[in-house]
A and B are shown apart, each in its own frame.
Chain A
Amino acid sequence: MIEINIETLQAGAGTTSINAISLTGEIDATNAAEIQRRVMPLSAPGCKLLLDMTKVAYMSSAGLRMLLSLYRQTSAKQGRIVLVGLSDELQDTMSMTGFLGYFTVLDSLESGIQSLVS
């Protein structure tokens, strides 16, 4: 089961619009496609996506692939994507399987927002 919450934040004194996507649950082959369907439309030219992974306990290969697809789509449109709140274990898995290097990974929501504003 996965819960997907999407909200739009105005940051940088209202100059920057950020789509904050917060995921709750485990991401695997049973729901990665659904997340992709929900999130991919946000990947518009110049978009700024903030993925809050704080409540994601596990990600399978399908989850990693969904993230990379999102990254590819977003960067092709000169958008930016930042991951926050990744557990050590998930970061480790992403590093071992070659997915970590693509992403800006930050600890907190605030630092993620700051990074997208700058």
Chain B
Amino acid sequence: MDDMLRIDTYPTHIFNEYGLRPGHPYPFGANPVPGGINFSVFSRHADYCVLVLFKKDAPKPFAEIPFRGMFTKPGTGEPFWGDFRIGNVFSMVVFDLNIEEIEYGFRMGAGYPKVERGKPGFQRFDPRSILLDPYARAIGGRDIWGQAPDWNNIYQHRARIAYDDFDWESDRPLEIPAENLMIYEMHVRGFTRHPSAGVKHAGTFAGLKDKIPYLKELGVNSVELMPIYEFDELEGVHNHPETGEMLVNYWGYSTVGFFAPKAGYAATGKSKDGTMVVDELKTLVKELHANGIEVMLDVVFNHTAEGNEYGPTISFRGIDNITYYLLTPEGYYFNFSGTGNTLNCNNPVVRGMVLDCLRYWAAEYHIDGFRFDLAAVLGRDQNGAPMLNPPLLEALANDPVLAKCKLIAEAWDAGGLYQVGSFPAFGRWGEWNGKFRDTLRRWIKGDSGIISDLALRLQGSPDLYASRGPTASVNFITCHDGFTMLDLVSYDNKHNEANGENNNDGANDNNSWNCGCEGETDDQGIQDLRFRQIKNAFALLTVSQGVPMMLMGDEMGNSQSGNNNMYCHDSELSWLDWSLLQKNQQLFRFFKNCISFRKAHPVFHNMWHLRGQDYLGTGLPDISWHGVKAWNPDWSESSRLLAFMLDGKHAKGGQSQDNSIYVVTNTYWEGLDVELPGLPSVRGQNWYVFANTGVNTPEDVCEPGAELLLGKQDHLFVGPRSVVILVAK
């Protein structure tokens, strides 16, 4: 069979010097086929479509080939009429193109009246625009982060072709059970851009790869990358009105192309060969997997970078505006995302694109899971109304390729839909649990009246996820959106002046407490209290049922100087300063040990909700609650102390055997003496101290397994605003 030639490797049509033949509508995008490249693009309303070919970075195209028109026959040169369209898909094969060298786009047109910029309209065809392929696997135009492009170039975001033959060897997604995850939310550039990171290729996928040993030492087993689909950091670039600092789209929640990695995040982005970025990201994923770390992507399907009526025409709006976007009856863009437009996700064609996209990342990049930004938008119908059974969410939940991927929703949107606990989950979806964040923050700062709520959050929020189990709850106290952990305990209020909006942007409900002084201080007492509060927060996060997520840099006391909306800063304000690791060694040590303690104890990894009963007859309930008196929690308004004990023999419903664990959290400003619950005498066990945030480092925590025997077994002094964790053995 080796010598058999395919019969479709010869041109059947000639246009100028280009050999062509009718293409395959599927798959969409530009795909290498024997001898050529198959280009395929959907538009329901375009009358005509032209393939526009550029040399890499060139200002002008070198060829424009129509999908319909007069062609000539190979050999004879006889002219004839041809049309490379099936249904609503334009597709053709072009032979003899150098895939490393070309960039391609489309022109599309239809007989609709032209809509002026800023005016409402349903179709925005403009044959002068060169349109990015929505399925482009690599995109040029912003190859080096922050480097100003030629703004006069008619084609700004330029589709490239990518090789799809990466050698994964035996790598595959890790499929770590959700209950065993410890997620590290991070920004690819911010992680290693600071000179103190000491990597060769600062701020890139390659730089992140160099830091894998660090992540491994910390103990996290999942990295959640803030958006890495191609976006334009220079979108809306402007200078701070007072400081003059250049403000950019640093976070990247504004997708230009859903199938392409951000070229500016790749060290190889600057290479002559614009397709290497794909291999660089795949190499990073492979290396993370080899070190037991999953990769989750933060994906933004609620809107695109094209903005509202005034926004640029990059791709979708010039291809089929009314298909891709939710429009008001007047032809304005609905704005449920807060960024100008809303992707029409439950249109069957757009839904197909979202599915194709996620399948592509799961299959071709071995991505382990996805976190969906403003996911409530994905459940809105084509008029913007929330649906009971959104077909997109159902399709994702049941997709064969995505079957083992983690699907996590940010279960709200900017249109006022808040679905924490009620997101249509189809048995699959987890959620960022905003209630966990709010309750834990309030508890830690010492608010009263929330002790019952706290108990629910520590258990994996059974009130929200009764049928879905604790793993539906992604627990977090800090994330990219809001204060860092150190700022949470250093600022009462946000300080976003650097964003140039008179401190009007960013959330106001931070539930933060500065511990006695706003911002930096020399007061040792305040500094100590802040570190203790950080430890309290992280300790409670890691002993809660559900899936814990932490924010990059919290483990070394990273600050953003009180700015709780860092989206526009690409500077030392947003880059992780690695010298903090040395300076705040005690935090790193505390975080690391808490993570490894959580990992070592299956009692924290329940897939089903705890019952508060001894249903296995072990002598202890799976979870029991305690106060200053054992077995006697104080649930009253003013109570600021709560303790719980997890029975090791009930770990994972009795499927695992573990030590029993006792956790007490005191947010009262004075220390309290608590009575400890006795262990069943037949077990012959004693309490050992794993962590006590009320004492100074290094006594605050130990390595799991090296816990110290508690002197008095029936009583314990819990310092002011402290957490103590005991283990029975």
Contacts and interface: CB of A to CB of B under 8 A. Distances in A.
A29 B165 CA distance: 15
Interface string B293-331: 000000000000000000000000000000000000000
Contacts of B280: 96-97
B98 A61 contact: no
A63 B165 CA distance: 13
Contact of A60 (B201, B273, B283, B286): B273
Interface residues of A, number: 17
Contacts of B165: 65
Interface string B386-403: 000000000000000000
A110 B429 CA distance: 59
A75 interface: no
B196 interface: no
B593 interface: no
A92 B166 CA distance: 18
Given A29-B99, A93-B268, A61 B163 contact: yes
B273 A61 contact: yes
Interface string A49-70: 0000000001011101100100
A58 B283 contact: no
A115 interface: no
A96 B163 CA distance: 16
B606 to A, nearest CB: 38
Contact of A28 (B100, B163, B283): B100
B184 to A, nearest CB: 22
Contact of A30 (B98, B166, B200): B98
B279 A58 contact: no
Contacts of A98: 166-167, 279, 282-283, 286
Interface string B64-101: 00000000000000000000000000000000001111
B271 interface: yes
B272 interface: yes
B167 A68 contact: yes
B201 A61 contact: no
A82 B696 CA distance: 55
B267 interface: yes
Interface string A69-99: 0000000000000000000000011011111
A70 to B, nearest CB: 13
A93 to B, nearest CB: 7
Nearest to B271: A93
8 contacts: A30-B98, A60-B271, A60-B273, A60-B276, A93-B276, A96-B209, A96-B280, A98-B286
Instruction: Report the 7 A-B pairs with minimum CB-CB distance, sorted nearest first.
Output: A98-B283, A97-B279, A60-B273, A96-B206, A29-B100, A96-B280, A29-B98
